[in-house]
Amino acid sequence: IGKRELIQAVKDQAQLSGPQADAAVNALLDTIVGTVAKGQRVAITGFGVFEARTRAARRGRNPKTGEELQIAETVAPAFSAG
């Protein structure tokens, strides 16, 4: 199911108009993305947890040349089902 199908499902279940369902889904997603980007968790009971996780620095290889290189520490979004 994609975003379009999710909006349609919200529209049908909540008996909203198309623009209202679109606004509701976009507001939810924007809130989750913004909160996780600030380094905070979003926990939805019975669904799951969205959070930012730190990936440690590590060694890697350039697939083209085989040269070893250092990959810096990064922060990536993560989801854990509840």
- Give the domains, in start order, of the chain with CATH numbers: 3-81 (4.10.520.10)
Least Cα distance to 82 among 31, 29, 44, 39 occurs for: 44
DSSP 8-state secondary structure symbol assigned to residue 39: T
CB contact set of 42 (below 8 Å; sequence gap of 6+): 31, 32, 35, 36, 49, 50, 51
pLDDT at 77: 94
Residues in the chain: 82
Mean pLDDT (the chain, rounded): 95
What is the pTM assigned to this prediction? Answer: 0.76
The residues near 33 (Cβ < 8 Å, ≥ 6 apart) are: 77
Whether the predicted pLDDT of 1 surpasses 90: no
